[in-house]
Each structure stands twice: as structure tokens, then as C-alpha cells.
Amino acid sequence: GEDVEQSLFLSVREGDSSVINCTYTDSSSTYLYWYKQEPGAGLQLLTYIFSNMDMKQDQRLTVLLNKKDKHLSLRIADTQTGDSAIYFCAESGGSQGNLIFGKGTKLSVKP
Amino acid sequence: KAGVTQTPRYLIKTRGQQVTLSCSPISGHRSVSWYQQTPGQGLQFLFEYFSETQRNKGNFPGRFSGRQFSNSRSEMNVSTLELGDSALYLCASGALGTDTQYFGPGTRLTVL
């Protein structure tokens, strides 16, 4: 079935790199996404990667895709307190044409 | 371009009432999807509309319905509210030919 798994919590120190991991099951997904949700807010699209790519870099964000293991990661360089939020991994290609989301990883950045 | 807007941002209703939520997509986007977010179930897909037609539907009871207007604005309606309908309802819009969805700020519904 369709499923996206993420660890629930990650804590890092300001200035360190954060790596948030995700595994997915649908190998036919065309795109894989990372969204950020701050308290009381909606989902902000951070970045996405096409399924035929291995890596995508966008300023402080690096997305790595391992298609063989169906593993996606988001690396945030020089993590700041403003990066504290919940990060959702999502895959396209749900059976109803929808996005399938993980439960979200809560990133806490300590000063 | 303005982002996805949702109104109202907050709603408090009582069991048995009905509620209508509104979503205006990004200008030029014709696809609107709705998701329900709860702490227990996470993000669950409700339905998707494209050009005034429901294109896809998630596994929610018939109390949940929606529609889309000719200007792509969408509404969702929940009838006979239950306590379990308390959630953040998120609307997302997408451009033709892409799976990428952009989300609004959500409507926080509390059912007492």
C-alpha cells in the first residue's frame, strides 16, 4: 500500500546541519516533496525532486534520493532557530491522485 | 502572485451543525484539493476539484462534500458535525500538468 515513514523528532544545535529522513513505498511516484509547517500555519513547499534525479540543492537545502531503497532525505545546512518547525515528506501518485504525507518530523533547534 | 487564501481562519461550531469553508487558489491554478489534518491521523486527503468537477475523492463519509466554481474558488461543506471533525482543514492549489501543490494557511475548526 501507499505509506510514507518519518522519524517524529530531531533536535540539533544552532549552526549544525540537520538531516531529516523519509522512506516511501510507491516506486511510481513522479515527484517527492518536502513541506515545512510552523505552529498555527499551513504547509510551505520547501523543495521537491523529480523521481529520476539523485540530488537537488537549493541554497541551504539539499535533497538526496535513493530510488533503490526508496529513501529521501532533507539536509539543512547551518540550521537556525527559525528552522524549528515540523517537516513533512510527501510523494505524488496516490491512488486517488493525491499527495501521500508522512506524519512529520518535529525539528527543534537549540541556541 | 498572491498565495492560496482560506476563510475563515478559525471556526467554532457545536455537534450537529454544518459548516462551509472557502478556498481561493493561486491565480491561474484550476486544481483545488482539500486535506484534513489531525494530531492522530496526520494529513488525509478529502477530495480534489478541477474545472468545477470532482476528480478524486478520499475515504471520508458523505457528510463531507465540496464544490468548485467557474473562477476556480472552492468550498467544502461538512454537515452534522461530530467532535472528531475538529481539525485543521487545508486547501491546496495546483497548476495544470503538475503534481506540485501549494497550500493555504488552513481553517481551524473546533467542534464542541
Report pLDDT digits (tens) over A56-69.
999 999 999 999 99
Q: Which parts of chain B have pLDDT scores under 70?
A: none
Torsion of CA A81, A79, A54, B92, to 10 degrees: 10
pLDDT value at A81 more than 90? yes
C-alpha span between A25 and B82 (Å, rounded): 33
The strand pair at B10-13 and B102-103 is best described as unpaired
**In chain A, count of helices (H) and strands (E)?**
0, 11
What pLDDT is stored for residue B36 in this prediction?
Answer: 98
Asked whether B4 and B102 are in contact (CB, 8 A), the reply is yes
Chain A interface mutation, best of B43, B54, B60, B90, highest count of A Cβ atoms under 10 Å: B43
Q: Which residues contact B46 (CB under 8 A, 6 or more apart)?
A: B33, B34, B35, B36, B57, B58, B60, B64, B66, B76, B89
A51, A92, A98, A105: best to mutate for the B interface, most B CBs within 10 A: A98
Q: Report residue A100 as a C-alpha cell.
A: 501521500
- Tell if the CB–CB gap between B43 and A101 is shorter than 8 Å: yes
Nearest one of B72, B51, B47 to B62, comparing CA atoms: B47
Chain B residues contacting A via beta carbons under 8 Å? 4, 6, 33, 35, 42-43, 45, 48, 55-58, 90, 92, 99-106, 108
Q: Residue B27: its pLDDT value, please?
A: 95
Q: Please name which of A73, A66, A36, A69 lies closest in space to residue A51, comparing C-alpha atoms.
A: A66
Q: Residue A41 is nearest to which of B43, B58, B105, comparing CB atoms?
A: B105
Question: Cα–Cα distance between B42 and A4 in angstroms, integer?
Answer: 11
The C-alpha cell at A46 is 520547501
Model confidence band, residue A96 (pLDDT cutoffs 50, 70, 90): low
Mean pLDDT of chain A: 92
Instruction: Select the residue of B33, B100, B105 nearest A42 (Cβ to Cβ).
Output: B105
- Please count the residue pairs, one from chain A and one from chain B, whose beta carbons lie less than 8 angstroms apart: 53
Q: Between chains, do A99 and B104 touch, taking CB under 8 Å as contact? A: no
Q: Rounded mean pLDDT of A13-20? A: 98
Provide, for chain B, the percentages of residues in helix, strand and coil under a 3-state DSSP scheme, each rounded to the nearest 5.
Answer: 5, 55, 45
- Give the nearest chain B residue to A101 (CA atoms): B43
Is the distance from CB of B87 to CB of B38 less than 8 angstroms?
yes
Judge: B100–A48 Cβ closer than 8 Å, yes or no.
Answer: yes
Q: Which residue of A has its CA nearest to B89?
A: A42
Q: pLDDT above 90 covers what percent of chain A?
A: 80
pLDDT of residue B100: 87
